[in-house]
Amino acid sequence: MVTALLARQLLTPLETVEDAALVIEDGIILAAGARADMSLPANARVVDFGDAILTPGLIDIHIHGAAGYDVMDGSDDGMTSIEQLMLRHGVTSYCPTTVTAPMEQTLAALQKIASAVDEARTRTDADRAQPLGVHLEGPFLSHARRGVHPSIDLQRVSTASFDKMWNAAAGQIRVLTIAPELDGALALIAVAAGRGVCVSIGHTNADLGQAAAGVKAGARHATHIFNAMRRMTHRDPGVLGELLTNNAVTADIIADGLHVDPAVVDLFLRVKGVDRAVLITDAISATGMPDGTYRLGSFEVQVRDGRCESYGKLAGSVLTMDVALRNVMNFAHLSFQDSVRLATINPARVLGMENRKGVLQPGADADVAVFSPSGEVRKTIVRGRIG
């Protein structure tokens, strides 16, 4: 069936189209543009969203869980609940993200997540976000900057260990967070990058030279910049000196106002620009739930007043992507269009999927978020399926 979505405005997101129409068929976008310039198919089902704004569906490349469930559990009920909650907040695609755990637990989780990714390609339900592949956060992290990742489960960098995880995930690892200063890290960065993985620098105590060596080896992104990283000073720029000034590196940030001060979020976006910055949530199982005690991988996290802590350290967030959009508009005075870029085409580029995801253009997947003029999610559409 051909469906035409009408709205006051459409963000591609690189361009703004007024009085817009988006034509989709079999989950793919056929046409996008001004309604006056298009001839809608005579047999099209027309859905008019009135004064709404159509954007690409949001993409979260770093999320550990939601709705009381952790992605490492990998249960059908858990993944369904996580994906349904994400959809309510405008997210159509995401990378289930692991946390450092005993190897056997990690391998089991990767197998379950890989199965969920495979199943998502063929399912027909319209009320769930789609997993695109695994974000492997750990176990190759700095002990000095591990955050809440259990020290006992961190590992020496080993291509053999990575291969075990790669095989368990059936080759569906999309992002690898690694500390480039660790022995063996540069070799593994090159191996992973050669397999098409986005290697991301994070949980690192690297100095400027070590960070630059990581980028030269093939790293091209940074995980929750500023958090779990060596501090920057005017005489010791450290890893941040490389990540902030190298235009070949993209970086993501947790814009909840807790992980990074709003003024620093503003500074970050001024330095990296709206084409190299990515919004993430780093959300955990407590997202969408009341205050209480929840799990992140193998350990407990206490949540109170929106703050997630384990033994006094920040442990993920309860942020949602639509709130992150509104936050950067407030923190950095970005337009809605620029904020949308940080959560659509930019993460799609990080994953190498910008021709299919994160854009409203002919040939792309019909993943659409419908926003009110004030930036509230009204509806989310996954691959053209309007529930």
Q: CA 66 to CA 85: how far, in whole Å?
A: 7
Residue 20 token pair:
């817009």
3-class DSSP assignment, residue 158: coil
Instruction: Provide the token pair at 364.
Output: 């792309």
Examine the residue annotation and report whether 118 is marked as an active-site residue of this protein. no
Sign of CA dihedral 104, 105, 106, 107: positive
Residue holding tokens 């690892």? 173
Tokens representing 174 are 């999309």
Q: Which amino acid is at 127?
A: D
Angle CA(303)–CA(150)–CA(135) in degrees, nearest 5? Answer: 80
Both tokens assigned to 139: 């176990």
The DSSP output letter for 221 is: E
Q: What would the DSSP string read from start to end of 70-138?
A: ETTT--HHHHHHHHHHHHHTTEEEEEEB-----HHHHHHHHHHHHHHHHHHTT---SSS-EE--EEEE-
Dist CA 254 CA 280 (whole Å) = 6
Tell me which of 60, 70, 256, 282 is the catalytic residue. Answer: 282
Backbone angles phi, psi at 208, to 5 degrees: -60, -45
Catalytic residue positions? Answer: 282
